[in-house]
Amino acid sequence: MRYDTKVCLYVETELQDDEMKSSEDKEKNKKKENEEIIQNAANSDYKYGFVTDIDMHIIPKGLNEDVIRYISQTKNEPEWMLDFRLNAYRYWLTLKVPTWAHLDIPEIDFQDISYFAAPKQKEGPKSLDEVDPEVRKTFDKLGISLEEQMRLSGIAVDAVMDSVSVKTTYKERLAELGVIFCSISEAIKDYPDLVKKYLGSVVNYRDNFYAALNSAVFSDGSFVYIPKGVRCPMELSTYFRINAKDTGQFERTLIVADDDAYVSYLEGCTAPMRDENQLHAAIVEIIVEDRAEVKYSTVQNWYPGDKDGKGGIYNFVTKRGLCRGDFSKLSWTQVETGSAITWKYPSCILQGDNSVGEFYSVAVTNNHQQADTGTKMIHMGKNTRSTIVSKGISAGLSQNSYRGLVKVLPKAANSRNFTQCDSLLLTDTCGAHTFPYIDVQNDTSVVEHEATTSKINEEQIFYCNQRGISTEDAIGLIVNGYAKEVMAKLPMEFAFEAQKLLSISLEGSVG
């Protein structure tokens, strides 16, 4: 992985200088990648299953007001933040676990989870040397070593490791432009007005069960503010990683793009192998003002559990963006390969006139994985447009559902939506489901939805076999081709990782 990251970034740099040369390199890389896939094929266990051994600061299991006060106090939060948490917690107590999704979720004991874990570090490191060597090793294994990032890329990495931000790079360069990219805890201290203004404005704590839980106990996350007229010069990136055993992780991400701003934000996840299920309930809020654009890309590869469905992460995330300004644009791209259960609907509220929402998704489920994912496009402003492209791939005994809402309100004149959701089935024991909801409340909007469900084409596999490509690799090729439309929307360095992930996730799925 480390090598790959280097290579892809190298390719990206080259692209700017000499496109021809770069495309040659790309081909070479592809070959290398394919070789790697073949090598990896033999070993179909979870690739990133290792545990970093560093000092953890964990509070006892259970949730009550004292725990919330403790979290707030440990993080030196102001009074208003504690109130925010307590209100959310009190509301959460009145809620019941939602059951409407097409998922079979074992009962979760919310008192059997430790709600706070932080690496023991009193002050944030000032340079890379100060970062715990164990932490750095973990990132090395993941292929996102901070050194490499600093030397080769130009990507600022706000690495969140079990809740507390340990290292932020390129802060200064961003600071020159007025871009704020820091952990949410820092933001609460340093930019209370901004946080107060935007936190909970898109995803209220009353939104749903897990949103309320997150609002009460969120440990850390990222805060991004792009001031007026600034085009963020680099892709901002956060790698999340659940590290401590039995600790739920509740990140909170808040991204604000002021008028005419642009930012591309990357989120990637890998988690070590665990036997017990872990809960991950994050919130991502995005506010896009006039003419601003936000691109949010995710590669999600939490531990999916073993072949018998034991273990794995529960990924229950609320992601929502508000296109508040006219001509604003929000684009979600996600590649979901991990987690035992995925339950998330990155959504766009298209409030500003002429605003645009996009959702591109590839969801792969294998073995006993379950996914119920999709999007919501709420058209409120005039001439708003949205596009949804969702590709589901199911294998093994998994269940993969697309669930999406397109809602056009009476005032959203001339809005337009196009939805395409395709499902590909690899075995006769898996399931692929489509549950679109389309509500149109005016006479000038056009909404289209189409979906297909079909088996992987046997002729294509046979064709590959004839040419000496093993069935496993053939499936990797076909699936990558099938998902290309979405992959093309990912930033370069993610696209490579994601392509490999697709193949790896489907290993052993062919009977």
Partner 1 sequence: MSSLKQYIDLFKESRSTIEAHSTEVMNSLRDKAINSLISGKLPAKGDENYEITDLNETYAPDYGVNINRYDFGADTANAFRCDVPNMSTWLYFSFNDTYHSSRTASISMPDGVVIGSFNRLAKQYGKLISTYYGKLAPIENTQVALNTLLAQDGLFIYIPKNTSLEKPLQLVNILNATIPVMVNRRILIVLEENAHAKMLACDHTQSQETDFLNTQVIEVYAGKNSSFDFYDLEESGERTHRISSMWVRQEEGSNVLINGITLVNGHTRNDYSIDVVGENAETHLYGMAIAGNEQHIDNHTEINHNVGHCTSNELFKYILEDRSRGAFCGRIKVAPNAPRIEAYQGNRNICMSPEAKMYSKPQLEIYTDDVKCSHGSTIGQLDQDAIFYMQARGISKQEARMLLMQAFMADVISTVRMDSLKDRLRHLVDKRLYGKLALCQQCGSDCHDIVNNIEQ
Q: Which is nearer to partner 1, 95 or 438 (CB)?
A: 438
Q: For residue 129, what is the DSSP state?
A: G
Judged by CB under 8 A, the chain residues 92 through 111 that form the site for partner 1 are: 100, 102
In the set 52, 165, 366, 434, which binds partner 1 (CB under 8 A)? Answer: 434
Q: Which is nearer to partner 1, 409 or 490 (CB)?
A: 409
- Could you give the C-alpha distances from 379 to 242, 275, 282, in angstroms and in order? 35, 43, 25
Would you count residue 410 as binding partner 1 (CB under 8 A)? yes
CB 212 to partner 1: min, Å: 19
Count of residues in contact with partner 1, rule CB under 8 A: 37
Would you count residue 435 as binding partner 1 (CB under 8 A)? yes
The Cα 422–Cα 442 span in angstroms is: 28
The Cα 154–Cα 164 span in angstroms is: 23
The Cα 482–Cα 153 span in angstroms is: 29
CB 479 to partner 1: min, Å: 14
Q: Which is nearer to partner 1, 201 or 420 (CB)?
A: 420
Would you count residue 375 as binding partner 1 (CB under 8 A)? no
Q: Which is nearer to partner 1, 440 or 502 (CB)?
A: 440
Q: Which is nearer to partner 1, 328 or 423 (CB)?
A: 423
CB 22 to partner 1: min, Å: 39
Q: Taking Cα atoms as reference points, which of 270, 479, 484, 297 lies closest to residue 393? A: 479
Task: Decide: 175 and 162 in contact? Cβ < 8 Å.
Answer: no
CB 404 to partner 1: min, Å: 11
Helices (H), 79-150: 79-93, 133-142, 146-148
Identity (one letter) of the amino acid at 336?
Answer: E
Handedness of CA 256, 260, 261, 265 (dihedral sign): positive
Task: Decide: 265 and 234 in contact? Cβ < 8 Å.
Answer: no
In the set 337, 423, 503, 505, which binds partner 1 (CB under 8 A)? Answer: 423
Q: Which is nearer to partner 1, 69 or 102 (CB)?
A: 102
Residue 264: CB atoms within 10 Å? 18
- Could you give the C-alpha distances from 163 to 145, 222, 300, 312, in angstroms and in order? 19, 10, 17, 19
Q: Which is nearer to partner 1, 346 or 396 (CB)?
A: 396
Would you count residue 459 as binding partner 1 (CB under 8 A)? no
Give the chain's end-to-end CA distance (angstroms, integer).
28
In the set 307, 382, 433, 484, which binds partner 1 (CB under 8 A)? Answer: 433
CB 102 to partner 1: min, Å: 8
Would you count residue 70 as binding partner 1 (CB under 8 A)? no
Output the six-digit token pair for 212: 């309320």
Judged by CB under 8 A, the chain residues 436 through 455 that form the site for partner 1 are: 436-455
Number of residues written out for the chain: 511
The contact set with partner 1 (CB under 8 A) reads: 100, 102, 408, 410, 423, 425-456
